[in-house]
Every structure is written in C-alpha cells, then in structure tokens.
Structure 1
C-alpha cells in the first residue's frame, strides 16, 4: 500500500547525492539517491522536526561523466545557488554597478558577451545561504534597478545556455528545439543523420553526461514549421520547441 508519492527534480536528486557523500563518503547513483531526495522534500513540505525517517540507498552505479553533471547541479537542488538573467545598460561601469547591488552575495558564475545593443544580458550564478527566501529577496532587490529573470528552474538555461553565451546571430527563420535521444556510441551521428540535410543547422549544443539519454539543443533555419515538426515526429525522439524560451531570446 502506497500512502503518498513525492516528485523530485534532477537537481534535488543531485543535491541528495551530495548529502549522502558528505555524510558517509559514499557516492550513490541518481536512482539510488532518489529515496533520500524524496525524504528531504517530504520533510521540507511538511515542516517536520525531530522525526526519525529512513531512506534506502539502492545503488552506486555512477561514472565520472555523470559525476560532472551531478556536481554542477547539486547546488541548485540544495538551493545554495540561484541562476538569474539580468538586463543592464550596455555602457562602461554597468558591471561594477550591478556587482555593487549584489552586496555580500558570492558570484558563482558570470557569463557575458557584447551584442551591440543598448542593453546587455548577463547570465549570473549567485551563492545562497538561506534558500528560496534569500533568492526571492535578492531578486526583489535587484528588480528595483534592473530587469531580472530567475533561470534556476529553466532546464534549457541550465543544460545548454550557460555554456553558449556568445550573442545573437542573424540567422533567418531560426527555430530552436530541445531533443532527448538514447545515449549510446554513435548516437549523436545517428541523430544528425535522422535530421538530414533538408534544413540548415544554425545552432547546436550537446554534452555527454554519462546518462541514459543525450540532450541536444539545435537551431534550424526553417520557414515551414509544420513540415519540420512532421519530420521530427517521424524520427520518434522526444522534442520540445524552445523558440519562445527567455534564455534563448536573451543570450542567443
């Protein structure tokens, strides 16, 4: 009999793996740490204190490729880091002014590329010590002087955009999609072969994280979206349009 199901994100699982390691110096696999992630969320959601709760760690099938991903996402899952997109004036001294507004907050990541506009979009990671409440207070404070968007839960921003900051391209009829496909030797080549040469690729990002599924962000120049997505449906891989994603509109 199941009393309740608790859903957790990939970031929360990564944070649980980190917790287990720091507690017993053992590295659990994502599936193995799932119960611990669920327990943490259940305790937080129900504001439990002083209870004895047990989670079962069920495996340690993890490799260094996957560890890289886990290490990058653990702080987001632990709410000890926030990722934000901030619009600042494109002029001398703007960086300094923005950093002064951050106060004592530590900067964990900072990405910027001049785009030639009157406004600059910066991708910033900020360290947190008091979780969600501190993040909200920080964003509220920054929003008094800048346009700020929280990217901490934006999968595209965390998986792809943070590695691609380079300014906008003038590619006509560009549309952006995110794909997931089974990860195995030769998988990327097979994916590209299935896409074919009917459309010109204007953007591409892929990184092997040692997981069961590979994740690709791809930009294609296509004037007929219906025809393009019909081709995607034939391929049979999960895909999602990201052309309206704020992270793409700001940084690429």
Structure 2
C-alpha cells in the first residue's frame, strides 16, 4: 500500500487488503472490482516501526528465524553457545556512527576504513530519513589511533567512540 499509494495502514487495517489480494489470487481474479475496508488511524511511531519490519519480511527483503528453546535454567545460554557467542577481538574499538540515508554511504565508509582495519562487528539500524545508527567494531592498534580518527573525521559522519561506555560494555560481554 505504501509503495503504490504512499498511505500507511495499521496492522489490523491492512488485514482486509491482504485478504482481498489472497482471495483474488486464489480465484484467479484479474481486473475485477474488489472492495477492502482499511484503516490507518491507530498508528504511532512504535507501530510504524513494526509495520515496516513486517513489510520487509513480506517482501522477502528480511528474514525471521525462530527456534524452540527448552524452558529450563541455562537453556538460552546453551543456545547462545551453539550460535558461537561473541568472541574476544583484540584491539577492538567500538564506535557508533550515524550513516546518512543516501546511496553510497556504506561504500564511502568501507573505502575509508576497511582497507586498513578489520571490521569485527557491524550492526545497522535504519532510522528513516534522518540517518541510520550503526554500531561498528574495528580492530585498531593504539599506534594507529590518530590515523583512524583522521579517516573517521574525514567521512563527515557523526560518530562516537563507545569502547568505554558502560552500557555497551554490558551488552558486548
């Protein structure tokens, strides 16, 4: 709906449209007049984030993986171990960058930093038109910190070194 009409529907409001599309597909209807009553009034920014994430799954631009975990103490911990957990990375510098939402932003970042340093972690979270928060782990030895800062500053992206941030330290264990 958004891509065709630039209208945003709440999840329940979009159900009738999805049902109408499924009905037409099931019965092979093409060019028929079909009516679907929709709603978008119950929309807020939190719900909008959910809608966009579900739309990415529906368009097969993103995947959701699910598993059953035993309901017992340590079950989730064993699952994390099976997945490989988070490994220790020597000389890892943890930075938070704000990428502009425009074509080539990632390549500009990689061209500036990746040839010299290993990117050990990359977590991207789109924030709409204002930019994308990207948490990046980069292996930078102390003797190369000045060069790293020069290159990071030359990008023109807002960034912050978070290596000593207590909240990030708790999450990265």
TM-score (norm 2): 0.50
2:121 aligns with 203
1:217 aligns with 135
Equivalent-residue separation in structure 1 for 2:160 and 2:88 (angstroms): 22
Equivalent-residue separation in structure 2 for 1:221 and 1:182 (angstroms): 23
Q: Does 1:192 align with 2:110?
A: yes
Equivalent-residue separation in structure 1 for 2:116 and 2:101 (angstroms): 24
1:175 aligns with 93
- Deviation, 1:215, is 1.4
Q: Which runs of 4+ in 1 moved over 3 A?
A: 69-72, 92-95, 112-116, 165-168
Q: 2:116 aligns to what SS in structure 1? A: coil
Structure number having the greater strand percentage: 1
Q: 1:67 aligns to what SS in structure 2? A: helix
Equivalent-residue separation in structure 2 for 1:235 and 1:200 (angstroms): 17
Task: Say if 1:208 and 1:234 are closer, same or farther in 2 by CA, change over 3 A.
Answer: same
Matches within 5 A, 1:33-112: 67-68=48-49, 93=73
Conserved? CA contact 2:113–2:148, under 8 Å: no
Count of residue pairs the alignment pairs up = 111
Equivalent-residue separation in structure 1 for 2:131 and 2:160 (angstroms): 15
- Deviation, 1:68, is 1.3
Once the two structures are superposed, what CA deviation does each residue of 1:76-126 show, in whole Å capped at 9, x if it has no partner?
Answer: xxxxxxxxxxxxxxxx8478xxxxxxxxxxxxxxxx54578xxxxxxxxxx
Conserved? CA contact 2:108–2:155, under 8 Å: no
Conserved? CA contact 1:201–1:221, under 8 Å: yes
Task: Say if 1:226 and 1:166 are closer, same or farther in 2 by CA, change over 3 A.
Answer: farther
Q: 1:230 aligns to what SS in structure 2? A: helix
2:164 aligns with 244
- Deviation, 1:187, is 2.4
Q: 2:120 aligns to what SS in structure 1? A: strand
Conserved? CA contact 1:69–1:209, under 8 Å: no
Structure number having the greater helix percentage: 2
Conserved? CA contact 1:167–1:251, under 8 Å: no
RMSD: 3.6
- Deviation, 1:197, is 1.1
TM-score (norm 1): 0.36
Q: 1:202 aligns to what SS in structure 2? A: strand
- Deviation, 1:214, is 1.4
2:41 aligns with 25
Equivalent-residue separation in structure 1 for 2:166 and 2:51 (angstroms): 25
